[in-house]
Chain A
Amino acid sequence: MIEVIETGPFNTVQDLGRPGYRKIGVTASGAMDPLGLKLGNLLVGNAPGAAAIEVQTFPFRLRFTGAVVFTVAGADCGAGLDGHPLLALCTYVADKGQVLDLGQPRTGARAYVCVAGGVDVEPVMGSRSTSLRGAFGGNDGRYLRVGDTLSLCAATDGHRARAGISVVDPAFALSDHLPVSDDGSLLIRALPAGEHDLFGNDADRFWTETWKISSKSDRTGYRLSGEPIRPTTPVEMRSHGVVPGVVQVPPGGEPIVQMSDANTAGGYPKIAGVIDADLWRLGQARIGSRLRFVRATHREALDVERAMARFLEDVRVTSAMVTRALNIMA
Protein backbone atom coordinates (compact mmCIF):
# COMPACT_ATOMS: atom_id res chain seq x y z
CA MET A 1 0.00 0.00 0.00
CA ILE A 2 0.85 3.62 -0.37
CA GLU A 3 0.00 6.28 2.16
CA VAL A 4 -0.16 9.92 1.11
CA ILE A 5 1.61 11.98 3.77
CA GLU A 6 1.89 15.33 1.98
CA THR A 7 0.20 16.55 -1.19
CA GLY A 8 -0.64 19.66 -3.14
CA PRO A 9 -4.31 20.20 -3.92
CA PHE A 10 -4.62 18.79 -7.47
CA ASN A 11 -3.09 15.30 -7.58
CA THR A 12 -5.05 12.30 -8.79
CA VAL A 13 -4.93 8.63 -9.75
CA GLN A 14 -4.80 8.32 -13.54
CA ASP A 15 -4.36 5.65 -16.18
CA LEU A 16 -4.84 6.08 -19.93
CA GLY A 17 -8.44 7.15 -19.42
CA ARG A 18 -11.86 5.85 -20.38
CA PRO A 19 -12.46 6.67 -24.03
CA GLY A 20 -15.68 5.35 -25.51
CA TYR A 21 -18.15 7.16 -23.29
CA ARG A 22 -18.06 10.65 -24.79
CA LYS A 23 -21.41 9.95 -26.40
CA ILE A 24 -22.97 9.87 -22.96
CA GLY A 25 -21.09 12.94 -21.84
CA VAL A 26 -18.28 11.23 -19.96
CA THR A 27 -14.87 12.86 -20.27
CA ALA A 28 -12.11 10.40 -21.16
CA SER A 29 -9.72 11.71 -18.46
CA GLY A 30 -6.34 9.93 -18.23
CA ALA A 31 -2.75 11.04 -17.76
CA MET A 32 -1.79 14.46 -19.12
CA ASP A 33 1.54 12.95 -20.18
CA PRO A 34 0.54 9.53 -21.48
CA LEU A 35 4.04 8.87 -22.82
CA GLY A 36 5.53 9.40 -19.35
CA LEU A 37 2.95 7.11 -17.80
CA LYS A 38 3.59 4.38 -20.37
CA LEU A 39 7.37 4.55 -19.95
CA GLY A 40 7.13 4.42 -16.17
CA ASN A 41 4.81 1.44 -16.31
CA LEU A 42 6.97 -0.47 -18.81
CA LEU A 43 10.04 -0.08 -16.59
CA VAL A 44 8.30 -1.63 -13.59
CA GLY A 45 6.89 -4.44 -15.73
CA ASN A 46 3.31 -3.19 -15.92
CA ALA A 47 1.00 -2.92 -18.89
CA PRO A 48 1.51 0.59 -20.32
CA GLY A 49 -1.88 1.74 -19.06
CA ALA A 50 -1.64 0.68 -15.40
CA ALA A 51 -2.88 3.31 -12.96
CA ALA A 52 -0.37 5.64 -11.32
CA ILE A 53 -0.37 8.77 -9.21
CA GLU A 54 -0.27 11.93 -11.30
CA VAL A 55 1.40 14.67 -9.30
CA GLN A 56 0.95 18.19 -10.64
CA THR A 57 1.09 20.14 -7.40
CA PHE A 58 4.20 19.80 -5.28
CA PRO A 59 5.65 18.95 -2.86
CA PHE A 60 4.25 15.46 -2.64
CA ARG A 61 5.27 12.74 -0.22
CA LEU A 62 4.13 9.18 0.24
CA ARG A 63 5.09 6.26 2.45
CA PHE A 64 5.36 2.70 1.18
CA THR A 65 3.80 0.28 3.62
CA GLY A 66 5.47 -2.72 1.98
CA ALA A 67 8.42 -3.49 -0.28
CA VAL A 68 7.71 -2.59 -3.90
CA VAL A 69 9.50 -1.67 -7.11
CA PHE A 70 8.64 1.82 -8.34
CA THR A 71 9.79 4.62 -10.62
CA VAL A 72 9.04 8.31 -10.99
CA ALA A 73 8.27 9.22 -14.60
CA GLY A 74 7.34 12.46 -16.35
CA ALA A 75 8.61 15.71 -14.89
CA ASP A 76 12.06 15.64 -13.30
CA CYS A 77 11.13 16.70 -9.80
CA GLY A 78 14.24 15.82 -7.83
CA ALA A 79 12.60 12.81 -6.26
CA GLY A 80 14.20 11.27 -3.20
CA LEU A 81 13.72 8.04 -1.25
CA ASP A 82 14.32 8.66 2.44
CA GLY A 83 16.30 11.68 1.32
CA HIS A 84 18.52 9.85 -1.17
CA PRO A 85 18.21 11.44 -4.61
CA LEU A 86 16.75 9.27 -7.36
CA LEU A 87 17.42 9.27 -11.07
CA ALA A 88 14.54 10.26 -13.33
CA LEU A 89 12.76 7.31 -14.93
CA CYS A 90 14.77 4.71 -13.07
CA THR A 91 13.42 1.80 -11.05
CA TYR A 92 14.10 1.45 -7.34
CA VAL A 93 13.00 -0.92 -4.61
CA ALA A 94 11.29 0.81 -1.73
CA ASP A 95 11.28 -0.99 1.58
CA LYS A 96 8.42 -0.97 4.03
CA GLY A 97 8.20 2.41 5.69
CA GLN A 98 10.37 4.29 3.22
CA VAL A 99 9.23 7.75 2.17
CA LEU A 100 9.27 9.02 -1.41
CA ASP A 101 9.26 12.75 -1.83
CA LEU A 102 8.80 14.80 -4.97
CA GLY A 103 9.89 18.43 -5.07
CA GLN A 104 9.18 21.26 -7.47
CA PRO A 105 9.95 20.02 -11.00
CA ARG A 106 13.18 21.21 -12.58
CA THR A 107 11.68 20.51 -15.97
CA GLY A 108 8.12 19.60 -16.92
CA ALA A 109 4.92 19.96 -14.96
CA ARG A 110 3.62 16.52 -14.06
CA ALA A 111 5.26 13.50 -12.49
CA TYR A 112 3.95 9.93 -12.35
CA VAL A 113 4.64 7.56 -9.48
CA CYS A 114 4.42 4.14 -11.13
CA VAL A 115 4.57 1.05 -8.94
CA ALA A 116 4.92 -2.60 -9.95
CA GLY A 117 1.37 -3.89 -10.33
CA GLY A 118 -0.16 -0.43 -10.56
CA VAL A 119 -2.45 1.48 -8.22
CA ASP A 120 -5.49 -0.60 -7.39
CA VAL A 121 -8.62 1.48 -7.22
CA GLU A 122 -11.98 0.15 -8.39
CA PRO A 123 -12.21 0.45 -12.19
CA VAL A 124 -15.26 2.45 -13.24
CA MET A 125 -16.43 2.18 -16.83
CA GLY A 126 -13.23 0.38 -17.77
CA SER A 127 -10.73 2.77 -16.22
CA ARG A 128 -9.08 3.67 -12.93
CA SER A 129 -8.72 7.31 -13.93
CA THR A 130 -10.22 9.93 -11.68
CA SER A 131 -13.14 11.69 -13.37
CA LEU A 132 -13.12 14.99 -11.52
CA ARG A 133 -16.08 16.36 -13.44
CA GLY A 134 -18.21 13.30 -12.83
CA ALA A 135 -16.83 12.79 -9.30
CA PHE A 136 -16.24 9.07 -9.85
CA GLY A 137 -13.31 6.77 -10.62
CA GLY A 138 -9.80 6.95 -9.23
CA ASN A 139 -9.69 7.58 -5.52
CA ASP A 140 -13.37 8.34 -4.82
CA GLY A 141 -13.62 10.63 -7.83
CA ARG A 142 -11.58 13.33 -6.13
CA TYR A 143 -8.12 14.76 -5.59
CA LEU A 144 -5.79 12.93 -3.22
CA ARG A 145 -5.63 14.13 0.36
CA VAL A 146 -3.17 13.62 3.17
CA GLY A 147 -3.97 10.32 4.88
CA ASP A 148 -5.37 8.61 1.76
CA THR A 149 -4.14 5.06 1.32
CA LEU A 150 -3.95 3.35 -2.06
CA SER A 151 -3.74 -0.40 -2.58
CA LEU A 152 -1.54 -1.91 -5.26
CA CYS A 153 -2.43 -4.62 -7.76
CA ALA A 154 -0.35 -7.80 -7.78
CA ALA A 155 2.59 -7.45 -10.14
CA THR A 156 2.31 -8.98 -13.58
CA ASP A 157 2.91 -12.74 -13.68
CA GLY A 158 6.29 -13.83 -14.88
CA HIS A 159 7.89 -10.42 -14.64
CA ARG A 160 10.08 -9.79 -11.64
CA ALA A 161 10.64 -6.06 -11.70
CA ARG A 162 14.00 -4.99 -10.31
CA ALA A 163 15.84 -1.89 -9.32
CA GLY A 164 18.33 -0.13 -11.55
CA ILE A 165 16.51 -0.11 -14.88
CA SER A 166 16.33 3.30 -16.51
CA VAL A 167 15.46 4.64 -19.94
CA VAL A 168 16.79 7.49 -22.02
CA ASP A 169 14.85 10.73 -21.89
CA PRO A 170 11.97 10.45 -24.40
CA ALA A 171 12.71 13.90 -25.83
CA PHE A 172 16.24 12.65 -26.60
CA ALA A 173 15.03 9.38 -28.07
CA LEU A 174 12.49 11.19 -30.28
CA SER A 175 14.64 14.22 -31.04
CA ASP A 176 14.54 13.57 -34.78
CA HIS A 177 10.78 13.97 -34.58
CA LEU A 178 10.42 16.93 -32.23
CA PRO A 179 10.59 20.53 -33.41
CA VAL A 180 12.81 22.86 -31.41
CA SER A 181 12.55 26.66 -31.43
CA ASP A 182 15.48 29.03 -31.19
CA ASP A 183 13.85 31.17 -28.51
CA GLY A 184 12.84 28.53 -25.97
CA SER A 185 9.15 28.53 -26.92
CA LEU A 186 7.53 25.13 -27.04
CA LEU A 187 6.57 24.23 -30.61
CA ILE A 188 3.30 22.32 -30.78
CA ARG A 189 2.19 20.80 -34.06
CA ALA A 190 -1.43 21.09 -35.09
CA LEU A 191 -3.66 20.67 -38.11
CA PRO A 192 -6.11 23.39 -39.17
CA ALA A 193 -9.67 22.61 -38.01
CA GLY A 194 -13.16 23.34 -39.32
CA GLU A 195 -13.41 27.10 -38.77
CA HIS A 196 -9.74 27.89 -39.43
CA ASP A 197 -10.33 29.75 -42.67
CA LEU A 198 -13.09 31.90 -41.14
CA PHE A 199 -10.43 33.69 -39.11
CA GLY A 200 -9.02 35.39 -42.22
CA ASN A 201 -5.72 37.12 -41.52
CA ASP A 202 -6.07 36.24 -37.83
CA ALA A 203 -5.64 32.59 -38.83
CA ASP A 204 -2.14 33.39 -40.04
CA ARG A 205 -1.46 35.24 -36.82
CA PHE A 206 -2.60 32.21 -34.82
CA TRP A 207 0.35 30.26 -36.26
CA THR A 208 2.96 32.98 -35.84
CA GLU A 209 2.01 34.44 -32.49
CA THR A 210 3.74 33.31 -29.30
CA TRP A 211 1.06 32.31 -26.79
CA LYS A 212 1.44 32.17 -23.05
CA ILE A 213 -0.20 29.42 -21.00
CA SER A 214 -2.35 31.36 -18.55
CA SER A 215 -2.87 30.59 -14.89
CA LYS A 216 -6.48 29.63 -15.73
CA SER A 217 -5.23 26.33 -17.11
CA ASP A 218 -5.79 22.87 -15.71
CA ARG A 219 -6.40 19.27 -16.73
CA THR A 220 -9.55 20.35 -18.56
CA GLY A 221 -7.88 22.85 -20.81
CA TYR A 222 -5.14 25.39 -21.30
CA ARG A 223 -6.24 28.99 -21.75
CA LEU A 224 -3.72 30.86 -23.82
CA SER A 225 -3.11 34.56 -23.51
CA GLY A 226 -1.92 36.78 -26.32
CA GLU A 227 -3.24 39.20 -28.92
CA PRO A 228 -6.84 38.02 -29.50
CA ILE A 229 -7.86 36.41 -32.78
CA ARG A 230 -11.40 36.60 -34.11
CA PRO A 231 -13.37 35.24 -37.04
CA THR A 232 -14.09 37.79 -39.74
CA THR A 233 -17.82 37.34 -39.11
CA PRO A 234 -19.50 35.91 -36.01
CA VAL A 235 -19.81 32.12 -36.20
CA GLU A 236 -22.87 30.32 -34.83
CA MET A 237 -22.01 26.74 -33.99
CA ARG A 238 -24.21 23.87 -32.94
CA SER A 239 -22.88 21.86 -30.03
CA HIS A 240 -20.65 19.05 -31.28
CA GLY A 241 -18.28 16.44 -29.89
CA VAL A 242 -14.68 17.45 -29.25
CA VAL A 243 -11.45 15.64 -28.39
CA PRO A 244 -8.35 16.65 -26.42
CA GLY A 245 -6.14 18.85 -28.54
CA VAL A 246 -8.94 20.85 -30.13
CA VAL A 247 -8.08 24.56 -30.12
CA GLN A 248 -11.26 26.59 -29.67
CA VAL A 249 -11.59 30.34 -29.81
CA PRO A 250 -14.22 31.79 -27.49
CA PRO A 251 -15.61 35.29 -28.15
CA GLY A 252 -12.77 36.91 -26.20
CA GLY A 253 -10.36 35.75 -28.89
CA GLU A 254 -7.87 33.93 -26.67
CA PRO A 255 -7.65 30.26 -27.64
CA ILE A 256 -8.36 27.31 -25.34
CA VAL A 257 -6.71 23.94 -25.91
CA GLN A 258 -8.79 21.11 -24.50
CA MET A 259 -6.69 18.62 -22.52
CA SER A 260 -7.24 15.21 -20.85
CA ASP A 261 -10.34 16.26 -18.93
CA ALA A 262 -11.72 17.88 -22.10
CA ASN A 263 -15.41 18.57 -22.18
CA THR A 264 -17.10 16.06 -24.46
CA ALA A 265 -18.97 18.74 -26.39
CA GLY A 266 -18.28 22.29 -27.41
CA GLY A 267 -19.62 25.04 -29.57
CA TYR A 268 -16.85 27.60 -29.98
CA PRO A 269 -15.27 27.93 -33.41
CA LYS A 270 -12.23 25.68 -33.62
CA ILE A 271 -9.16 26.89 -35.40
CA ALA A 272 -6.87 23.86 -35.04
CA GLY A 273 -6.37 20.41 -33.58
CA VAL A 274 -3.10 19.50 -31.85
CA ILE A 275 -1.71 16.19 -33.09
CA ASP A 276 -1.99 13.36 -30.54
CA ALA A 277 1.77 12.84 -30.49
CA ASP A 278 2.32 16.36 -29.11
CA LEU A 279 -0.30 16.22 -26.35
CA TRP A 280 2.20 14.74 -23.87
CA ARG A 281 4.56 17.64 -24.50
CA LEU A 282 1.73 20.08 -23.92
CA GLY A 283 0.84 18.11 -20.78
CA GLN A 284 4.35 18.80 -19.48
CA ALA A 285 4.22 22.53 -20.35
CA ARG A 286 4.03 24.79 -17.35
CA ILE A 287 1.68 27.60 -16.58
CA GLY A 288 3.35 30.83 -17.66
CA SER A 289 5.46 29.18 -20.36
CA ARG A 290 5.27 30.16 -24.02
CA LEU A 291 4.37 28.17 -27.07
CA ARG A 292 3.79 28.51 -30.76
CA PHE A 293 1.68 26.32 -32.99
CA VAL A 294 3.35 24.74 -35.98
CA ARG A 295 1.15 23.94 -38.89
CA ALA A 296 1.68 20.27 -39.62
CA THR A 297 0.46 17.90 -42.29
CA HIS A 298 -1.48 14.72 -41.79
CA ARG A 299 1.60 12.81 -42.96
CA GLU A 300 3.76 14.41 -40.28
CA ALA A 301 1.18 13.53 -37.62
CA LEU A 302 1.27 9.92 -38.82
CA ASP A 303 5.09 9.77 -38.95
CA VAL A 304 5.63 11.09 -35.42
CA GLU A 305 2.87 8.82 -34.07
CA ARG A 306 4.65 5.83 -35.55
CA ALA A 307 8.04 6.95 -34.25
CA MET A 308 6.57 7.15 -30.75
CA ALA A 309 5.03 3.70 -31.09
CA ARG A 310 8.39 2.28 -32.22
CA PHE A 311 10.18 3.86 -29.27
CA LEU A 312 7.65 2.49 -26.80
CA GLU A 313 7.88 -0.98 -28.33
CA ASP A 314 11.68 -0.82 -28.14
CA VAL A 315 11.47 0.15 -24.46
CA ARG A 316 8.95 -2.61 -23.76
CA VAL A 317 10.97 -5.36 -25.39
CA THR A 318 14.39 -4.23 -24.21
CA SER A 319 13.43 -3.45 -20.62
CA ALA A 320 11.78 -6.86 -20.30
CA MET A 321 14.81 -8.57 -21.82
CA VAL A 322 17.31 -6.70 -19.65
CA THR A 323 15.24 -7.35 -16.53
CA ARG A 324 15.00 -11.03 -17.35
CA ALA A 325 18.70 -11.36 -18.10
CA LEU A 326 19.75 -9.54 -14.93
CA ASN A 327 17.37 -11.68 -12.90
CA ILE A 328 18.92 -14.83 -14.37
CA MET A 329 22.45 -13.66 -13.68
CA ALA A 330 21.76 -12.33 -10.22
Chain B
Amino acid sequence: MSQVDFTDPATIAELTAALEAAGVDGLEIERPTQGVRILLARGRSPIVDRTAEDRSAVVPASFVAVKAPMAGEFLSHDISRSAAPEDHPQEVESGDVIGFVKVGPILLPLAAPASGQIVRHVAEHGAIVGFGDPLFEIEPRS
Protein backbone atom coordinates (compact mmCIF):
# COMPACT_ATOMS: atom_id res chain seq x y z
CA MET B 1 0.00 0.00 0.00
CA SER B 2 1.48 3.37 -0.99
CA GLN B 3 2.10 5.93 1.72
CA VAL B 4 0.29 9.21 1.49
CA ASP B 5 2.54 12.22 1.63
CA PHE B 6 0.97 14.75 3.95
CA THR B 7 3.52 17.34 2.99
CA ASP B 8 1.92 17.46 -0.45
CA PRO B 9 -0.42 20.46 -0.67
CA ALA B 10 -2.61 18.60 -3.22
CA THR B 11 -3.32 15.86 -0.70
CA ILE B 12 -4.18 18.40 1.96
CA ALA B 13 -6.49 20.20 -0.46
CA GLU B 14 -8.24 16.94 -1.36
CA LEU B 15 -8.77 16.01 2.27
CA THR B 16 -9.95 19.50 3.11
CA ALA B 17 -12.50 19.47 0.30
CA ALA B 18 -13.73 16.09 1.46
CA LEU B 19 -14.17 17.36 4.99
CA GLU B 20 -16.10 20.39 3.86
CA ALA B 21 -18.36 18.24 1.70
CA ALA B 22 -19.11 16.07 4.71
CA GLY B 23 -19.74 18.99 6.98
CA VAL B 24 -16.98 17.72 9.25
CA ASP B 25 -14.91 20.27 11.13
CA GLY B 26 -11.64 18.51 11.55
CA LEU B 27 -9.46 15.54 10.77
CA GLU B 28 -6.43 14.07 12.42
CA ILE B 29 -4.32 11.38 10.83
CA GLU B 30 -1.54 9.69 12.70
CA ARG B 31 1.22 7.51 11.34
CA PRO B 32 4.23 6.26 13.26
CA THR B 33 6.42 8.76 11.48
CA GLN B 34 4.03 11.40 10.30
CA GLY B 35 0.80 13.02 11.32
CA VAL B 36 -1.55 15.66 10.03
CA ARG B 37 -4.36 17.59 11.62
CA ILE B 38 -6.72 19.72 9.57
CA LEU B 39 -9.18 22.00 11.31
CA LEU B 40 -11.80 23.76 9.26
CA ALA B 41 -12.66 27.20 10.47
CA ARG B 42 -15.78 28.18 8.56
CA GLY B 43 -15.06 31.02 6.20
CA ARG B 44 -11.31 30.87 6.78
CA SER B 45 -8.45 28.94 5.27
CA PRO B 46 -8.03 25.55 6.87
CA ILE B 47 -5.53 25.33 9.64
CA VAL B 48 -3.07 22.57 8.89
CA ASP B 49 -0.69 21.26 11.47
CA ARG B 50 1.88 18.72 10.33
CA THR B 51 3.94 16.81 12.81
CA ALA B 52 6.72 14.45 12.06
CA GLU B 53 7.90 13.22 15.40
CA ASP B 54 7.59 9.61 16.33
CA ARG B 55 4.39 8.79 18.18
CA SER B 56 4.04 5.94 20.57
CA ALA B 57 0.99 3.85 21.26
CA VAL B 58 -1.13 4.93 24.22
CA VAL B 59 -2.87 1.60 24.69
CA PRO B 60 -1.25 -1.16 26.73
CA ALA B 61 0.46 -3.49 24.35
CA SER B 62 -1.74 -6.41 25.27
CA PHE B 63 -4.95 -4.49 24.49
CA VAL B 64 -6.25 -3.78 21.01
CA ALA B 65 -7.68 -0.34 20.40
CA VAL B 66 -10.53 0.26 17.98
CA LYS B 67 -10.03 3.69 16.50
CA ALA B 68 -12.29 5.96 14.49
CA PRO B 69 -11.60 5.36 10.78
CA MET B 70 -12.68 8.90 10.11
CA ALA B 71 -14.03 11.96 11.87
CA GLY B 72 -17.75 11.78 12.56
CA GLU B 73 -20.36 10.96 15.17
CA PHE B 74 -19.76 7.83 17.21
CA LEU B 75 -22.82 5.58 17.57
CA SER B 76 -22.96 2.52 19.80
CA HIS B 77 -25.67 1.05 17.54
CA ASP B 78 -27.37 1.79 14.20
CA ILE B 79 -29.91 4.35 15.36
CA SER B 80 -31.76 4.10 12.04
CA ARG B 81 -32.47 0.38 12.32
CA SER B 82 -32.47 -0.63 15.95
CA ALA B 83 -33.34 0.67 19.39
CA ALA B 84 -30.61 1.28 21.93
CA PRO B 85 -29.39 -2.03 23.38
CA GLU B 86 -30.06 -2.66 27.07
CA ASP B 87 -26.37 -2.80 27.80
CA HIS B 88 -23.18 -3.00 25.81
CA PRO B 89 -21.93 -6.49 25.01
CA GLN B 90 -18.64 -7.17 26.69
CA GLU B 91 -17.65 -10.41 25.00
CA VAL B 92 -17.14 -9.99 21.26
CA GLU B 93 -15.97 -12.17 18.42
CA SER B 94 -13.55 -10.94 15.81
CA GLY B 95 -15.54 -9.22 13.08
CA ASP B 96 -18.55 -8.38 15.25
CA VAL B 97 -19.85 -4.89 14.58
CA ILE B 98 -19.48 -3.05 17.88
CA GLY B 99 -20.41 0.48 16.82
CA PHE B 100 -20.52 2.97 13.98
CA VAL B 101 -19.07 6.27 12.95
CA LYS B 102 -21.72 8.34 11.21
CA VAL B 103 -20.73 10.91 8.58
CA GLY B 104 -23.88 12.60 7.29
CA PRO B 105 -26.11 9.76 6.03
CA ILE B 106 -23.15 7.37 5.78
CA LEU B 107 -22.42 4.82 8.48
CA LEU B 108 -19.00 3.23 8.93
CA PRO B 109 -19.39 0.00 10.89
CA LEU B 110 -16.66 -0.71 13.42
CA ALA B 111 -15.64 -4.34 13.52
CA ALA B 112 -13.93 -5.91 16.49
CA PRO B 113 -10.36 -6.61 15.34
CA ALA B 114 -10.04 -9.56 17.72
CA SER B 115 -12.18 -11.85 19.84
CA GLY B 116 -12.16 -10.98 23.47
CA GLN B 117 -13.55 -8.63 26.04
CA ILE B 118 -14.27 -4.96 25.63
CA VAL B 119 -12.47 -3.48 28.61
CA ARG B 120 -13.17 0.15 27.87
CA HIS B 121 -15.80 2.16 26.01
CA VAL B 122 -13.88 5.32 25.38
CA ALA B 123 -16.46 7.30 23.39
CA GLU B 124 -20.02 8.05 24.42
CA HIS B 125 -22.87 7.31 22.03
CA GLY B 126 -23.41 10.50 20.05
CA ALA B 127 -19.92 11.90 20.67
CA ILE B 128 -18.10 13.68 17.87
CA VAL B 129 -14.83 11.86 17.30
CA GLY B 130 -11.77 12.62 15.24
CA PHE B 131 -9.81 10.36 12.97
CA GLY B 132 -7.82 7.85 14.98
CA ASP B 133 -9.56 8.61 18.24
CA PRO B 134 -9.68 5.43 20.32
CA LEU B 135 -13.28 4.24 20.72
CA PHE B 136 -12.88 0.85 22.38
CA GLU B 137 -10.19 -1.17 24.01
CA ILE B 138 -10.40 -4.92 23.66
CA GLU B 139 -8.47 -7.45 25.67
CA PRO B 140 -7.98 -10.33 23.26
CA ARG B 141 -8.93 -13.78 24.40
CA SER B 142 -5.84 -15.94 24.52
Contacts of A84 in B (CB 8 A): 95
Q: From residue 289 to 330 of chain A, which have CB atoms closer than 8 A to chain B? A: 311, 314-315, 317-319, 321-322, 324-326, 328-330
Q: How far apart are B127's CB and chain A's nearest CB, in angstroms?
A: 18
Q: Which size bracket describes the interface of A in this complex? A: 20 to 34
* A87 in contact with B14 (CB, 8 Å): no
* A328 in contact with B81 (CB, 8 Å): no
Interface status of A251 (Cβ within 8 A of chain B):
no
Main SS at interface, chain B: mixed
**Among B1, B11, B70, residue most surrounded by chain A Cβ atoms (within 10 Å):** B70
Task: Give the docked Cα–Cα distance between A37 and B108 (Å).
Answer: 20
Task: Give the docked Cα–Cα distance between A88 and B70 (Å).
Answer: 21
Contact of A167 with B109 at beta-carbon distance under 8 Å, contacts A328-B11, A329-B4 already known: no
Q: From residue 161 to 195 of chain A, which have CB atoms closer than 8 A to chain B? A: 164-169, 171-173
B interface residues, tally (CB under 8 Å): 28
* B69 in contact with A326 (CB, 8 Å): yes
**13 intermolecular pairs with C-beta atoms under 8 Å apart:** A87-B97, A90-B107, A166-B100, A166-B108, A167-B106, A168-B102, A172-B81, A314-B104, A314-B105, A321-B21, A325-B15, A325-B70, A329-B4
Q: Which 5 A-B pairs have the closest CB atoms?
A: A172-B80, A168-B80, A169-B80, A166-B107, A318-B104
B interface residue numbers (CB < 8 A to A): 1, 4, 11, 14-15, 18, 21-22, 29, 69-70, 78-81, 95, 97, 100, 102-109, 111, 131
A interface residue numbers (CB < 8 A to B): 76, 84, 87-88, 90, 164-169, 171-173, 311, 314-315, 317-319, 321-322, 324-326, 328-330
